[in-house]
Amino acid sequence: MQSLDVHRPNMPDLQFVLLVIALCTSRLPTLNVPESLRTAVFDRCWALTNDGPPPLRDEERVLDLRFGTEVTLEAMVETIRSLLTEAGIHTLTWDHPPSEPTRSSTPEALPLIEHLQKLYPKPPD
């Protein structure tokens, strides 16, 4: 079982937002967040970065944070924390093994991936 403390995630804000949004859009049956709350978290974060309504199709429910500001990121963190806290959820829990990527990384993403691998190397076997 994996878990994430909503108020002390021990990760940078950007990583926290991306992880929570990924969990909320994952359709994992073992995540301890009801479907209606998962939708609310995504929709509120979407509204902070987009003008139109959030997409309805699952494969389109992705946030593009490349053009956001620090203020936008802080607003997302606060939005996520307040929605989960209001629902009485202080720790996210889920049971799902890590899976292999479903697509190849784009050439533009490779420098970032290489940089992240240097910052967070895989532990030895």
**Residue 99 phi, psi (nearest 5):** -115, 160
List the domain range (segments joined by +) for residue 79: 2-119
Residue 109 located in a structural domain: yes
CA distances 75 to 16, 27, 87, 110, Å, are 13, 24, 18, 29
Q: Which residues of 41-65 are buried (b: 16+ CB within 10 A; e: fewer)?
A: bbebbbebbeeeeeeeeeeebebeb
125 located within any domain: no
Packing angle between helix 70-86 and helix 35-49, nearest 10 degrees?
Answer: 160
Q: Is residue 50 part of a domain?
A: yes
pTM: 0.76
- Band of residue 58 on the pLDDT scale cut at 50, 70, 90: confident
Measured over the CA atoms of residue 79, residue 37, residue 28 and residue 110, the dihedral's sign is negative
pLDDT tens across 12-38, in order? 999 999 999 999 999 899 999 999 999
In a domain, 32, yes or no: yes
**Is 124 part of a structural domain of the chain?**
no
φ, ψ of residue 120 to 5 degrees: the values are -125, 75
Question: What are the pLDDT digits (tens) for 69-124?
Answer: 999 999 999 999 999 999 999 999 999 776 676 667 777 777 888 877 887 777 66
Among 9, 47, 46, smallest CA distance to 24 is for: 46
Residue 3 has what DSSP assignment? E
Is residue 11 one of the residues assigned to a domain?
Answer: yes
Number of compact structural domains in the chain: 1
